[in-house]
């Protein structure tokens, strides 16, 4: 299993980095769109859609992304799109977490499908736009999510005593959440130091927030993004628990499904884009 997991991770990282370093933004946009379409298929399956309907929803998500690529939104989506996506996560996420796994299957299926597909589309659009802002910017947001997850894991194992959401994800603790936030703040300090001393293609998300809002604004924004990453993780865990599934699918050998790998990223990407619109980023 470990060998399979490592091989899958290396293949994915190699493909994504290869697409990311091409001068044209199209390869990266299309590759990530394919992954998001697969996540749409997984979301539909987890939410009581049949096989044919699940495939149709994944295809519809791919078509929606392709249409977006051919529109003026390809280069610059209106800022309200990011704020709407962030608000959708906050409202729908709060409702879902408050209701719990047992209540989730009883919510209207059409509403669950729609919310999930819109959230996936917005996350993909934010990823594509972040690539347009700069590779350094995109990587800084991705690493924020990864650091929050890794630091939370080790902090939770070392210090975890108070359960965060035992009915949804018994292994998560409040101490893990705080550890993740500390890890992200440390990462931000290191990344801004690198921004100031090495040639990069543009400022990171940390430098943009620092320049626009100062230290207090930067810290508050990063804590908010960390909180959203935790929410994304918990929402996917809730949906899988309600469906009685261990993984969102078996598309990625050794890793489960696409949703299992990107759940924490889904709310963070549009929220990061929303925050940097206040800092003058496109």
pTM over 0.95: no
Per the structure, the count of domains in the chain is: 1
- Other CB atoms within 10 Å distance of the CB of residue 88: 16
> Which band of pLDDT confidence, cut at 50, 70 and 90, is reported for residue 13?
confident
**11 domain-assigned:** yes
pLDDT at 2: 56
**282 domain-assigned:** no
d(CA 129, CA 50): 33
d(CA 79, CA 25): 20
Q: Write down the residue that tokens 């890890």 correspond to.
A: 183
**193 domain-assigned:** yes
**258 domain-assigned:** yes
pLDDT at 192: 96
For residue 212, pLDDT over 50 is answered with yes
**197 domain-assigned:** yes
d(CA 278, CA 282): 10
Read off the pLDDT of each residue in 206-210 and give the average, rounded to a whole number.
Answer: 95
Q: Is 77 left (phi over 0), alpha (psi -120 to 50) or beta?
A: beta
Least confident of 35-49, 73-87, 150-164: 73-87
Q: Angle of helix 205-243 relative to helix 26-46, nearest 10 degrees?
A: 30
- Residue 267 lies in domain: 2-277
d(CA 193, CA 29): 29
Q: What is the mean pLDDT of the chain?
A: 91
**160 domain-assigned:** yes
Least confident of 26-35, 102-111, 117-126, 273-282: 273-282
């Amino acid at each position: 299993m470990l060998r399979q997991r490592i091989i899958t991770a290396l293949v994915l990282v190699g493909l994504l980095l290869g697409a990311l370093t091409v001068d044209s933004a199209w390869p990266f946009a299309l590759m990530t769109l394919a992954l998001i379409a697969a996540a749409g298929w997984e979301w539909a399956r987890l939410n009581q859609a049949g096989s044919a309907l699940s495939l149709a929803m994944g295809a519809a998500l791919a078509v929606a992304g392709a249409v977006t690529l051919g529109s003026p939104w390809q280069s610059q989506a209106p800022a309200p799109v990011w704020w709407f996506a962030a608000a959708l996560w906050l409202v729908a996420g709060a409702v879902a977490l408050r209701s719990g796994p047992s209540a989730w299957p009883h919510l209207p299926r059409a509403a669950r499908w729609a919310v999930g597909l819109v959230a996936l589309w917005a996350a993909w659009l934010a990823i594509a736009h972040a690539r347009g802002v700069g590779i350094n910017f995109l990587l800084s947001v991705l690493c924020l999510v990864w650091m929050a997850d890794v630091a939370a894991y080790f902090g939770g194992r070392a210090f975890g005593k108070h359960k965060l959401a035992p009915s949804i994800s018994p292994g998560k603790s409040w101490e893990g959440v705080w550890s993740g936030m500390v890890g992200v703040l440390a990462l931000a300090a290191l990344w801004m130091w690198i921004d100031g001393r090495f040639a990069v293609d543009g400022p990171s998300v940390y430098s943009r927030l620092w320049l626009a809002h100062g230290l207090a604004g930067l810290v508050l924004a990063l804590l908010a993004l960390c909180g959203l990453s935790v929410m994304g993780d918990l929402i996917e865990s809730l949906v899988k628990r309600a469906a009685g599934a261990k993984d969102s699918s078996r598309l990625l050998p050794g890793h489960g499904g696409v949703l299992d790998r990107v759940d924490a990223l889904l709310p963070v990407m549009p929220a990061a884009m929303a925050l940097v619109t206040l800092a003058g980023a496109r």
